[in-house]
Structure 1
Amino acid sequence: MTDPQTALASEADDVERHACPRCHASSGSPCRSRSGAVAGTYHTGRFTKVPRLAKLLRVPTPADRGPGQPWRPGTPAPAPVDPDTPSADIRIGYARCSSLTQELQSQLDALAGHGIPRDKIFSEKISTRVRVRPQFEAALAAAREIKAHAPHCRVIFTVNEMKRLGRDAAELTALADHLTAHGLVLEMLAGPLQGMYDPSGPGRLLFGFFAAMAETERENIRESTLEGLDAAARKGNHGGRPPVITDDMLHTVLRRRANGETVEGIQPDLLIPTGRRKGHNPSLSSIYRALAEHDKRQAYPDAVEQAHADFAATEQ
């Protein structure tokens, strides 16, 4: 049973969060009478601002406020804090690429540029085909630990793009379940779901949709690679036909384009090293096609690797 004095003090605290429109007592102070003393009750226009007290006829001033004593302004009460309101955002970053030939720095720079300290960014070069990713698990563990020690903070697991998280819809859905269970928020800095994502909210369906789309795109790349390998093998070129744009040429295009040059400006300096058109410049369409294939390999390297593995298995 609640002590009457405790209940009265609680009511007074709630009332004194508001200034009085009648006696002009400031917040944190009891009401005052016309004689300048502490009033025996709070004025109606003041206590009715508190919803749970609005229907009462009177709210007495507690004894510790000194009713009848000379009135003095008190200290304004602090604003109430909703226990569910986070006091701060704490971010844990994760960056991943699939192979040693890919670069992580752009992801690391994006995460750091988003205000995440370097010591809270976890990174690794590992394929999503590997089910156990040590740094990914370490990042999740760090996020869980922070949330456990600071439950009123919003702990945000931040990645550059969705594809850094998992290889298929099942993995991404499992991750969403994990984030929900531990009260974590997911944030993506780029891609179709750029922004904050709360797995427990309506965004869950949208997240699942994009996961399914990513899985479909990966399968399309695998199938198109298989078809290319099969077509080349039928012509006697096992492993694929010699590309018009070699790796060295592609790296040259990527490097010079990164420095601001156009493909049209780079094309005259490229020479085909082998084949019927040896010594000629590759066509612009060949260069753009090679760039598109490069982007696909960068986005879904596992799909290309899997296609080569599947094709090799059929050749045995």
Structure 2
Amino acid sequence: MKIGYARVSSTGQDYQTQLDKLQAAGCKKIFFEKQSGKSADDRAELQKALDFLELGGEGWTLVVTKLDRLARSMNDLTSITSKLQKNGVGFIVLDQNIDTTTPTGKLLFNILGSLAEFERDLINSRCDEGRRAAKLKGVQFGRKAKLTDEQLDALRADVKAGILSMQAIADKYQIARNSVYRLVGAKESA
């Protein structure tokens, strides 16, 4: 069974053209909404369509007119199509001639997915290079230390003196007890 999904972004737009194409493609049920496509999680009708497809499962197909009607980011697209694939549901994009129910369609979709993954890897690599360069320039990452060097020395002296319990030391310096153990390099005993 073919299930259609149509979406427009604003109230000034009309999805009748999408509905006509989906009906012509043989969709037995069509979910449609006027909603921004920024995140799949914010689209109630899309979630209903995906839930409906999950009930049908193997042999059913989700049909959209254009890829950007379903997802605006590669993360959303990958997430949605992974769920479909896991449930044996096909995926057709009418205007781009993508049909994952055919070997050629699967190939095309996987090539597009691979290109997106390659792009993501390049972005991650550039971010890593930027972080390394910033560290070389002395930029400190992470949150600022809660204790000064003097307070840390005093904390270690308190632990060495053995007068206060670890919890009392933690309370004194307003830190967690496990932080006291971490800062002095001792192992916490239960």
User: TM class, shorter-chain normalised?
Assistant: 0.5 to 0.7
Task: After superposition, give the CA deviation of every residue in 1:121-150 in whole Å (9 maximum; x if it has no partner).
Answer: 000000012432110011111111112xxx
Name stretches of at least 5 consecutive residues in structure 1 with no aligned partner: 1-89, 213-316
Measure the CA separation in 2 of the matches of 1:211 and 1:203: 13
| Structure 1 residue 127 corresponds to structure 2 residue 36 | yes
Is the 2:31–2:45 contact (alpha carbons within 8 Å) kept by the matching residues of 1? yes
**What TM-score do the two structures reach when normalised by structure 1?**
0.33
Change (3 A) 1:207 1:126: same
Measure the CA separation in 2 of the matches of 1:210 and 1:116: 30
> Between Structure 1 and Structure 2, which shows a larger proportion of helix residues?
2
Local SS of the residue matching 2:52: helix
Alpha-carbon deviation of 1:209?
A: 5.8
Partner of 1:65: none
**What TM-score do the two structures reach when normalised by structure 2?**
0.54
Q: Which has the higher contact order (CA 8 A, sep 6+)?
A: 2
Measure the CA separation in 1 of the matches of 2:13 and 2:63: 20
Mapping of 1:94-105 within 5 angstroms? 94-105=5-16
Measure the CA separation in 2 of the matches of 1:172 and 1:114: 21
Mapping of 1:1-316 within 5 angstroms? 90-117=1-28, 120-130=29-39, 131-147=41-57, 151=58, 154-191=59-96, 194-198=97-101, 201-208=106-113
Name stretches of at least 5 consecutive residues in structure 2 with no aligned partner: 118-190
Measure the CA separation in 1 of the matches of 2:93 and 2:83: 17
Larger Rg: 1
Is the 2:32–2:45 contact (alpha carbons within 8 Å) kept by the matching residues of 1? yes
Measure the CA separation in 2 of the matches of 1:199 and 1:175: 19
Measure the CA separation in 2 of the matches of 1:115 and 1:171: 25
Local SS of the residue matching 2:37: coil
Runs (4+) off by over 6 Å: none
Measure the CA separation in 2 of the matches of 1:140 and 1:132: 13
Number of paired residues? Answer: 115
Residue identity opposite 1:178 in structure 2: K
Alpha-carbon deviation of 1:169?
A: 1.0
